[in-house]
């Protein structure tokens, strides 16, 4: 198992190194216009300049704060609403159409409205991230409970299991599996909301830096910031994967 994993990592590293070298050679040779796609060495220098000054950490902290607050808020609200809708049919008749409507429209277009409501500070970014995550988690929890095998529920009730036993032994494991399956997507949505909100209107954050780089046609800084965001999202993906394996150990066993 470890040997196979090591070979997979080696193949990925070789492919990535080859791609970077081809990019560098093509850009230096003029096959790719460096104005639009600067060579990796230029992007690496931009990385150094961003971190050498130290101010980048303030922007990373702003984006991280908005994304994580939106993620956790969306998880809590989406889970609560999804659970309530699945357990109380009249409530589902009200909540499900609203969530379907929110899911049908690109939620990022709500960014200007949230900025009007909550200002250009942290609140509007958290609100946008929260809405993006909450809708996803609502459907995960709602579907997770609705898809529980009714025969399993009947057997637990036949054996004397009450509502508390059903929640602990049937519904919670089912919901956990559905939520953990959506967690990585939720992480991406949370960062999307934070960065888009900062891009539209903000005084700090990685989205604000991206907006400034785009307005000055600085492709190297734009790509460097995109890679920074990708690196942090991949880190959270890894943590989410570890959490999933820990919570769903029975599945991996």
Q: Within this chain, do residues 117 and 131 fall inside the same structural domain, yes or no?
A: yes
Q: Within this chain, do residues 26 and 44 fall inside the same structural domain, yes or no?
A: no
5 is in which domain, residue-wise? Answer: 1-32
CA distance 113 to 6: 48
Is 69 in contact with 126 (CB distance < 8 Å)? yes
Q: Within this chain, do residues 20 and 129 fall inside the same structural domain, yes or no?
A: no
DSSP H stretches of helix in the chain: 2-28, 40-52, 56-87, 89-104, 111-118, 122-146, 150-158, 163-166, 172-200, 206-215, 219-247, 249-252
Q: Within this chain, do residues 21 and 54 fall inside the same structural domain, yes or no?
A: no
Q: Within this chain, do residues 89 and 168 fall inside the same structural domain, yes or no?
A: yes
Each residue's pLDDT tens digit, 52-70: 877 888 898 999 899 999 9
Each residue's pLDDT tens digit, 80-91: 898 888 878 888
Each residue's pLDDT tens digit, 112-167: 888 888 888 888 899 999 999 999 889 888 877 776 666 666 666 665 666 666 66
Closest of 67, 55, 37, 102 to residue 196, by C-alpha:
67
Radius of gyration of the chain (CA): 22
- Check residue 77 and give its pLDDT: 92
Q: Within this chain, do residues 102 and 186 fall inside the same structural domain, yes or no?
A: yes
Q: Within this chain, do residues 65 and 163 fall inside the same structural domain, yes or no?
A: yes
CATH number of 69's domain: 1.10.3720.10
Q: Within this chain, do residues 42 and 8 fall inside the same structural domain, yes or no?
A: no
Q: Within this chain, do residues 100 and 191 fall inside the same structural domain, yes or no?
A: yes
- Angle formed at CA 13 by CA 230 and CA 59, multiple of 5 degrees: 20
Q: Within this chain, do residues 228 and 194 fall inside the same structural domain, yes or no?
A: yes
Q: Within this chain, do residues 51 and 172 fall inside the same structural domain, yes or no?
A: yes
Give the pTM: 0.79
Q: Within this chain, do residues 69 and 184 fall inside the same structural domain, yes or no?
A: yes
Query: How many domains does the chain divide into?
Result: 2
């Amino acid at each position: 198992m470890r040997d196979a994993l090591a070979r997979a990592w080696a193949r990925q590293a070789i492919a990535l190194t080859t791609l970077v070298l081809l990019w560098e050679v093509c850009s230096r040779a003029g096959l790719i216009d460096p104005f639009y796609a600067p060579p990796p060495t230029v992007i690496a220098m931009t990385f150094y300049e961003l971190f050498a000054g130290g101010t980048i950490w303030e922007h990373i902290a702003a984006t991280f704060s908005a994304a994580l607050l939106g993620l956790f808020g969306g998880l809590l609200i989406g889970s609560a609403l999804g659970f309530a809708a699945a357990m109380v049919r009249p409530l589902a008749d009200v909540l499900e159409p609203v969530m379907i409507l929110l899911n049908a429209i690109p939620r990022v277009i709500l960014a200007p409205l949230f900025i009007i409501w909550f200002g250009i500070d942290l609140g509007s970014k958290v609100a946008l991230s929260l809405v993006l995550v909450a809708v996803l988690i609502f459907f995960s929890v709602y579907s997770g409970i609705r898809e529980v095998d009714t025969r399993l529920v009947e057997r637990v009730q036949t054996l004397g299991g009450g509502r508390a036993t059903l929640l602990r032994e049937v519904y919670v494991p089912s919901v956990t599996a559905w939520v953990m399956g959506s967690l990585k997507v939720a992480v991406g949505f949370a960062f999307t909301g934070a960065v888009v909100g900062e891009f539209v209107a903000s005084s700090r954050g990685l989205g604000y830096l991206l907006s400034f780089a785009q307005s000055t046609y600085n492709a190297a800084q734009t790509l460097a910031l995109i890679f920074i965001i990708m690196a942090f999202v991949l880190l959270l993906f890894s943590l989410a994967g570890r959490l999933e394996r820990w919570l769903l150990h029975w599945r991996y066993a």
